[in-house]
Amino acid sequence: MKAYINRIVNHALFRKSLIYTIADAVNKAIPFLILPFLTYYLTPADYGIVSNYTIYISILVIVVGLNLNGALSANYFKMDKHAIADYAANITLLSFICTVLCTIIALFTLSYLNTLLSITSFFSVIAIWLAFCQSVSTINTDLWRLEEKPVQFGVYQILQTITNVVFTVLLVIVIRYGWKGRLWALVFTYMVFAIASIAILYKRGFLHIKINKHYIKDALKFGLPLIPHSLGLWIRLSIDRVFITKFYGNAAAGLYAAGIQFGLLLSFLILAFQNAYVPYLYKRLAANDPNTKPSLVKFTYFYFISVLALAGFFSIVAIFVIQHFLSVHYKEASSYVVWAMFSQAFQGMYMVVGIYLFYAKKTVIIAFVTFSVALLQLFASYFLIKTLGPIGGAYSALILSVINFALMWIASSKVFPMPWFSLKKS
């Protein structure tokens, strides 16, 4: 076992993953460090408004981005650099067109959006452009990740987080602008780094727009079937807060959001690993070496055990932080932590087995599974939250995370056979 762990530690994948992990650790650690201070300047109701605004942006990212960056990743190792540059430019153009269309639609639904989100018209509309900004930044960071340049990726992410925190501290804690201050911090940060990403992409030759109908069709063919998948993920990650706000108000949603936010302690490790593992796995699979599969399966099982163990450890840490460092008004948030943490663990396990479906370009299967599970969670969350209170959202999230992982694992093994239960024979 010791020798196996040493091989992992000395592996190039581990070293690259470590850089991603450090970058994400800084990104997540700084907001957590200021969270105790924010709880003294934002009421649970204010925090609920901020939380609902972020989930509003997250669904706009799906509509504006159309999962086109995923098509870029899937084609990266199959095209030369010049073709990838044209591909990136075309998907950026597509995202911009979608943003303009969504803005026009939003102008006709402002009164509904303002009431639903408890915000002003400006924030309702600017959220669409923040979604576009996020899509542009994602294209930039995805290219660094695919080029296996974790340092550039990490520096960009850390600077973005620091900027976000500085604006938040200034507007919420110093100027005491309340929830509006937190939203303005998002506006400034997203726009500044979108402009930076556009400049970087242009300088590197990725934004010399030359319309290519073949690339546009290919990107849409990849991305559009994934919209149900992305909507499914959004439902699974966000619908509980929507129902809690509806039945119990912004304050209850704020407490729930504060509790489940601690799941980010685990999710940042999962995403950091994913950033390094996806290009590594794609290259290993493309080599078509029969000896690769058993070693990948062993590593995956090791990953499963590690993620579940970390979920337990981080649950203890998070509850301690809430009880001793957050405002007394947020103590109830600790009741959601364990459920959220293990939901993140199974989400991370699902992501690893789901990579094989992405590699095989079976995005329709991914969409079907994810959306089906999301519909189950939609009904489960509604029923459990309405009958049991906000804690029902945490229950449904964990139950459906387990189901989603199991179904995705089964689908993955059918499409891309791996020796999951026959390592000795392999």
| Per-residue pLDDT band at 4 (split at 50, 70, 90) | very low
Q: Yes or no: say if 1 and 298 are a contact pair by the CB < 8 Å rule.
A: no
- Whether residue 412 is predicted with pLDDT greater than 50 in this model: the reply is yes
The answer to whether position 422 is within a domain reads no
Closest CA to 220 of 320, 113, 363, 407: 363
pTM over cut 0.75: yes
Query: What is the pLDDT, as a whole number, of residue 9?
Result: 47
The answer to whether position 108 is within a domain reads yes
Lowest mean pLDDT among 292-306, 376-390, 395-409: 292-306
The answer to whether position 420 is within a domain reads no
Lowest mean pLDDT among 98-107, 221-230, 255-264, 393-402: 221-230
CA dist 249 and 247 (Å) reads 6
* DSSP-derived secondary structure letter, 171: I
The answer to whether position 345 is within a domain reads yes
The answer to whether position 296 is within a domain reads yes
Closest CA to 130 of 199, 73, 53: 53
Number of domains in the chain: 1
- Whether residue 12 is predicted with pLDDT greater than 60 in this model: the reply is no
Q: What is the pLDDT of residues 141-188, one digit of tens each?
A: 888 888 878 788 888 988 998 899 899 999 999 999 999 999 999 999
Q: How far is CA 129 from the centre of its chain?
A: 18
Give the pair of three-digit tokens for residue 385. Answer: 């939250």
Domain that holds residue 132: 2-415
Residue listed under structure tokens 């199959």: 78
Q: What is the pLDDT of residues 87-141, one digit of tens each?
A: 888 988 899 999 999 999 988 888 877 777 778 889 989 999 999 999 999 888 8
- Whether residue 425 is predicted with pLDDT greater than 70 in this model: the reply is no
Q: Yes or no: say if 195 and 139 are a contact pair by the CB < 8 Å rule.
A: no
Q: Yes or no: say if 62 and 132 are a contact pair by the CB < 8 Å rule.
A: no
Q: State how far the alpha carbon of 330 is from the alpha carbons of 38, 90, 173, 257, in Å.
A: 11, 46, 18, 10
| Per-residue pLDDT band at 426 (split at 50, 70, 90) | very low
Give the pair of three-digit tokens for residue 254. Answer: 């704020």
* Residue spans of alpha helices (H) in 149-223: 150-168, 178-203, 213-223
The answer to whether position 23 is within a domain reads yes
